Structure 1
Amino acid sequence: MRVASRNFCVWLFEDRVIMDVDSSNAARSFLGLPAPQPFCASAPLKEGFSISVVVWTCRACHLGHDIPSARLVTSFRPQILPPHLLPEISMMQVVAVHRSETVMKMSNLKLVVLFLALGLTTVIAAPRGWGDAHITYYGSPNGAGTEGGACGYQNTYKLGYGSMTAALSSRLFQGGKACGGCYQLRCAPNRGRNWCWSYARAIVVTATNLCPQGSHGGWCDYPKSHFDLPMPAFTSLARREGGVAPVWYRKVRCAKRGGVRFTIGGNPWFLMVLIHNVGGAGDVVSVKVKCPYTGWVSAYRNWGCLWTVRTKMTGPLSFTLVTSDGRTLYSMNAVRNGWKFGQTWEGSQFR
């Protein structure tokens, strides 16, 4: 019996899932409406056989509230999905290739293809220059509990970042290299239920923390791009009760008031400098320090935005910073003579 690879497509229309094989007009003819972009794939299909899929839906799995539910959808037969299953269609699987006369009898299916996962998403693909991600929230409604983090900022509110910050998934965090970088987040159009207030709304957040593996039911796991936001930042884009929302993101320039700030820590033989309020690209990739008694000494990233020099430094301190876009800033005598550990000094700024 001849085996061919056949295309099949699934459309989502409000409460209906419509599936068709080798057709691009089924949804249009069925509803009399302009058909949106379908989700399509292909599978080996023998003559006289049809395809069945299971659409997995989950309303609030990221919060651990609901158990994923499955719904059988067969070719050429529009299926009605209960309203409570619509908010998130998370995955589609081909579960069977079977004879057409048994399409409505699950017990009689001849299983030929099992679990061809398609990673189906209801989010429209990001435009050029943007990436696809999701947002969740952590901390209290006023942002408490989000002040510190893996970038080394002791208190993001006292340092001027406020609640517009983000804990990044490991893919974006890059071991701390992303700390201080700024990202624009914009609600992504979604064919299913979307908790965002408006598709036109956007915010800019600064990377200040890491969202660890296993957080929020796996949203932050590698290789996902994800932003875990303080609750005030999240609710400026989406409704709190949603818990998660799809977004588009892109890296943007950081607009900061005043100059780059240097908080001096460590000891005379182990200088540790927290570099913050960095404009431009925001994320620093290289630091050099000098005093009147040394040349330029390369610092190394201790962790996050904390940079360390193992050379004794006395007198005024000057800094050379290079950010991820390749720009260099010379901040001469940013830290004045007579400085003490624990003090914060302000130098020049990227323009």
Structure 2
Amino acid sequence: MVSVWEYPDFDDHEGVHLFRDVASGLTAVICVHSSHLGPAMGGARFWNYADKNKAITDALRLSRGMSFKNAMADLPLGGGKGVILANDGVQKTPELLAAFGRAVESLAGRYVTAEDVGINDADMIQIATATRHVAGLPVEKGSAGGDPGPFTALGVFLGVKAAAERGLGKTDMAGVHVAVQGLGSVGGRVARLLAAEGARLTIADVNAERAKAMAAELGATAIAPDEILTVEADIISPNALGAVLTEQSIAALRTTVVAGGANNQLATPADGHRLKARGILYAPDYVINAGGIINVGLEYLKHGDQAEVEARIHRIAGRLHQIWDESEATGDPASDVADRIAMRLIGRA
């Protein structure tokens, strides 16, 4: 059996915690990558994995991404991630969510959880019955907190606009062709925001009916999910699961810009170099998709309101331009530049 220290994605994580609660059916992983800037914050994911090793790998990668995301968003928070396995027909029951809350509580504030794929704000209420270290709870109108999806989507939308300006010389989205992969909580909202500004959309989702309905709503063209990354478009916007940018998929891209909200879009660090070699402008995912963590992070820290959240989200474009400026000056891929800045911020330069 491979030890956790031998996983390729183990990056001097401060803690890798495995939890099992037989009564509720909970099998979970919580990874704390860094607490250099503050408690390690990152959402919990409810997902079916081919095997448990893949769940650990996902938690390792995602927690490292959260360290970088929180640092680049200027939040006094470290990076962590929770993964709840949905394997073998496990149901997301109140008992299972409470058991996960107890797992979070056992870490005594070193990890703070929130929503991610497969988890919603109603689930956070259940988790909060067993732990104080939770964000993304329903809040009063105008307050920081609640569903992070709309705030993530806002940041991605603003990042796409910044990328269009940088890579295409476009000051607005009118007539810009964007291929959107994934139409869930974030991707669907990004598509609507782009359509409202006059972008021409090609869209795809694993839920064909959802793609068809959104195409009718927005005047977009819906295609099969396995075709979206090869569409000839000004911008490709990945907003589904990660590791979609591989040696093979990058070679097949027909675009000038890649800018989307999915986490861990690059399958390997070398893929950032492949994008750079092809002259494709890349918006590092953990920078462009930080809107949600800004929202729930300020909720947990009890700092500011929705206006403060939105003001911070509008700084995402400036951070992207900083990365692209350094990329141009050094010749290094934007992904490497972003990693370098983030590593310095978390004390690992």
TM bucket, shorter chain: under 0.3
* TM-score computed with the length of structure 1 as normaliser: 0.21
Structure with higher helix content: 2
Structure with higher strand content: 1
Higher relative contact order (CA 8 A, sep 6+): 2
Larger Rg: 1
* TM-score computed with the length of structure 2 as normaliser: 0.21
